[in-house]
């Protein structure tokens, strides 16, 4: 075999039920390839990709109810969450803390460690959402940031964002919403989660998850320009004066891919996708319940159910890419590549291992 023949092929999505990423939209894939060598981190040298980034941020503003958005397309949710903590810390004095629900993504732990701030994790209510009283109990005068999650990684829950906004206002903290995964489905639901619904200061929304953009494509958005100012560093050898991003050289493919996906899909395409994904989640939840499994009622297109270890392992052996949560439950994310036919094949395989 030649080296090319033995090279691993990219993942086939036929049996991927555990991922929060998906196959990019064809237009996004094409745009990514053509902007592979452009560096949005150097806008004076690469003005075209810088223009696409500004347009992508405007489009993201439309998705999250913000008329005049400030932000950029970065490497993903981890970077955006870290930047939210960093902006809040830089705008406060002295030692500060961040209050987040226990369901917050592990990237906040990385952020706390890198930025040397205290992370206080609040208990959840009995539906896996942030308990507002528990958050209020942990918040104090040194709290720089209150975090709410709109679409939790484990159960797809939406925290009570307006109530968390009240807590943040009471202690003079910023409010950050982590909608890394949920941001492209929530506009089509009744949840209160965005800049128009609550005094949100910053938000994470990842085009490379439900947004059907290629990796790496993350979104960091702020209501006020002062937030980006708090992140800005002087850049002596570039023609542009300052840079609010964490990365220096950044992915032109990610920026152009995000722009192309948003341009092609917002809003009608994302709405159709949400409706398909939601119908699939309801279908799967019902079919699992009928088969006798304990299912956590889905709120967004993510289904969690109790599955014995032996059945889980047998399905993995059949090639199903499934994952378990901290509590052991099976978790199926109904991403755009997850079709009804695929779920039917999964249920048929489940029947044989039951
Ligand atoms: C995936 C995810 C993140 C992390 O995003 P990356 O792009 O993987 O860095 C943060 N928060 C939530 C809610 C997520 O689902």
Whether 75 lines ligand 1, by a CB cut-off of 6 Å, is no
Please check whether residues 309 and 257 belong to one and the same domain.
Answer: no
Decide which of 242, 265, 288 is a domain's last residue. Answer: 265
Q: In this structure, is residue 309 part of a structural domain?
A: yes
Residues 239 and 300 in one domain: no
Give the integer Cα–Cα distance in Å for 281 and 299: 9
Q: Which of 106, 19, 12 is nearest to 322 (CA)?
A: 19
Of 103, 112, 148, 181, the residue with max ligand 1 atoms within 8 A of its CB, to mutate for a pocket test, comes to 181
The CATH number of whichever domain residue 143 belongs to comes to 3.40.640.10
Q: Which domain holds residue 46?
A: 26-265
Q: Which two tokens stand for residue 8?
A: 């691993």
Residues 259 and 275 in one domain: no
Identify the pLDDT of residue 32: 98
| 106 has pLDDT over 70 | yes
What pLDDT, on a 0 to 100 scale, did the predictor assign at position 1? 62
Ligand 1 centroid to Cα of residue 91, in Å, is 24
Distance from the alpha carbon of residue 351 to the mean position of ligand 1, in angstroms: 33
Domain boundary among the residues 265, 285, 304 is at 265
Extended strands (E) in 75-201: 97-101, 118-122, 143-149, 174-178
Distance CA 343, CA 209 (A): 20
Rounded distance from Cα 181 to ligand 1 centre (Å): 7
Break the chain down into helix, strand, coil percent, rounded to 5.
Answer: 40, 15, 45
Shared domain for 43 and 190, answered yes or no, is yes
What average pLDDT score do residues 189-207 get? 98
Mean pLDDT across 326-346: 95
Q: Domain containing 347 — which CATH number?
A: 3.90.1150.10
Q: How many domains does the chain have?
A: 2
**Percent of residues, the chain, with pLDDT higher than 90:** 93
Residues 185, 151 contacting (CB under 8 angstroms): yes
State the pLDDT at residue 38: 98
Residue 47 lies in a domain: yes
pLDDT digits (tens, 9 = 90+) for 244-291: 999 999 999 999 999 999 999 999 999 999 999 999 999 999 999 999
Provide mean pLDDT across the span 327-350.
96
Domain check: are 166 and 223 in the same one? yes
Q: What's the gap in Å between 21 CA and the centre of ligand 1?
A: 10
Last residue of a domain, one of 265, 288, 322: 265
User: Does 21 fall in a domain?
Assistant: no
Task: Say if residue 227 is in the same domain as residue 122.
Answer: yes
Taking only the tens place, the pLDDT of each residue in 300-312 is 999 999 999 999 9
């Amino acid at each position: 075999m030649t080296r090319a023949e033995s090279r691993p092929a990219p993942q086939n999505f036929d049996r991927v039920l555990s991922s929060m990423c998906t196959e990019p939209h064809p237009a996004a894939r094409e745009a990514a390839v053509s902007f592979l060598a452009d560096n949005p981190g150097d806008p004076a040298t690469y003005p075209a990709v810088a223009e696409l980034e500004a347009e992508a941020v405007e489009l993201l503003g439309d998705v999250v109810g913000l008329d005049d958005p400030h932000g950029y397309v970065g490497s993903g949710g981890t970077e955006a969450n870290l930047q939210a903590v960093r902006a809040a810390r830089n705008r406060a004095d002295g030692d500060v803390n961040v209050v987040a629900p226990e369901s917050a993504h592990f990237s906040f732990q990385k952020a706390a460690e890198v930025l040397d701030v205290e992370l206080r994790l609040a208990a959840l209510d009995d539906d896996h959402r942030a308990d507002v009283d528990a958050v209020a109990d942990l918040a104090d005068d040194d709290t720089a940031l209150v975090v709410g999650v709109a679409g939790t990684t484990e159960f797809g829950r939406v925290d009570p964002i307006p109530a968390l906004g009240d807590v943040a206002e009471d202690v003079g903290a910023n409010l950050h919403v982590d909608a890394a995964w949920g941001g492209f489905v929530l506009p089509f639901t009744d949840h209160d989660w965005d800049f128009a619904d609550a005094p949100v200061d910053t938000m994470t929304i990842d085009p490379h998850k439900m947004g059907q953009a290629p990796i790496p494509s993350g979104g960091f958005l702020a209501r006020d320009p002062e937030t980006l100012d708090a992140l800005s560093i002087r850049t002596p050898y570039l023609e542009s004066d300052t840079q609010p991003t964490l990365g220096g050289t950044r992915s032109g493919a990610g920026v152009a891919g995000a722009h192309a996906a948003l341009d092609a899909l917002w809003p009608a395409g994302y709405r159709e996708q949400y409706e398909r994904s939601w119908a699939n989640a309801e279908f799967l939840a019902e079919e699992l319940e009928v088969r006798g499994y304990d299912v956590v009622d889905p709120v967004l297109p993510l289904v969690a159910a109790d599955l014995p270890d032996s059945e889980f392992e047998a399905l993995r052996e059949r090639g199903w890419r499934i994952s378990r949560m901290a509590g052991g439950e099976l978790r199926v994310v109904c991403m755009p590549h997850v079709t009804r036919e695929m779920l039917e094949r999964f249920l048929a395989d489940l029947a044989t291992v039951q």
